[in-house]
Amino acid sequence: MISLKEKPTILGQKIILRPFDVEKDFPYIEECMQDPVVIKYTGSSDDYNREEVYEWYRTRKDQADRLDLAIVDQSTKIMVGEVVVNLFDETRNSMNFRILIGPRGRDKGLGTEATQLIVDYIFKETSLKELTLSVFAFNPRAKRVYEKIGFVIESIDENELEYDGKWIDSINMSLTREDWEKRRNY
């Protein structure tokens, strides 16, 4: 098992990845959770219990089996999304990666930078061999970001999500430590 008890602050050019400050971040967490684009691309709902969500984010810093960090836009000092590394797979020595960018963080390259920063952190600071993710087929923009970072398609789960009367496939992608190291040496 990989320990992710230490919650780093990671500085990028445009963003900071840092542990959640729930008192400060919660209005922006709610903004993200209510955003129609976030709801669509995550396959979630805007129906949630405010107190449960608040408590969930308050306890993220205490979880040693996962890493949840806020994405903060350096130009505004406002939380615009989150990166999460979770779901340890002992057989593959891998974990799942996901990212969420709210309305204040789009169209600025923040998601690309956040993805690269967290991928670099995980492969530099842990012994994981692989990161995996899933992206819905109707989100080609996110898929391009993942491919740019080095993720490759492993498989497709057909008809994974029903959205607006249509069935949407889920694309499963992975990035191995070996491929990450090759890309870093270019």
Give the per-residue pLDDT at 12: 98
Residue 4 lies in a domain: no
Residue 1 lies in a domain: no
- 163: Cβ contacts below 8 Å, ≥ 6 apart: 40, 43, 136, 138
Residue 3 lies in a domain: no
Q: What is the pLDDT of residues 110-141, one digit of tens each?
A: 999 999 999 999 999 999 999 999 999 999 89
Give the per-residue pLDDT at 157: 95
Q: What is the pLDDT of residues 71-123, one digit of tens each?
A: 999 999 999 999 999 999 999 999 999 999 999 999 999 999 999 999 999 99
Q: Of 91, 85, 90, 93, nearest to 64 (Cα)?
A: 85
Give the per-residue pLDDT at 158: 96
Average pLDDT, the chain: 93
Domain count, the chain: 1
Residue 138 lies in a domain: yes
**CATH for 162:** 3.40.630.30
Residue 63 lies in a domain: yes
Q: What is the pLDDT of residues 51-76, one digit of tens each?
A: 998 999 999 999 999 999 999 999 99
**What percent of the chain is modeled with pLDDT above 90?**
77
Residue 132 lies in a domain: yes
β-sheet bridge partners, residue 130: 94, 176
Give the per-residue pLDDT at 37: 84
Give the per-residue pLDDT at 36: 85
User: pLDDT band at 186, cuts 50/70/90?
Assistant: low
Give the per-residue pLDDT at 80: 97
Give the per-residue pLDDT at 45: 74
User: pLDDT band at 32, cuts 50/70/90?
Assistant: confident
Give the per-residue pLDDT at 1: 67
Residue 159 lies in a domain: yes
Residue 48's domain comprises 10-184
DSSP sequence for the chain: -----S---EE-SSEEEE---HHHHHHHHHHHHH-HHHHHHHT--S---HHHHHHHHHTGGG-TT-EEEEEEETTTTEEEEEEEEEEEETTTTEEEEEEEE-GGGTTTTHHHHHHHHHHHHHHHHS---EEEEEEETT-HHHHHHHHHHT-EEEEEEEEEEEETTEEEEEEEEEEEHHHHHHHHT-
User: pLDDT band at 151, cuts 50/70/90?
Assistant: very high
Residue 2 lies in a domain: no
Q: Quote the crossing angle between the two packed helices 140-149 and 110-125, to the nearest 10°.
A: 40
> Measured between alpha carbons, how far is 25 from 3 in angstroms, rounded to an integer?
25
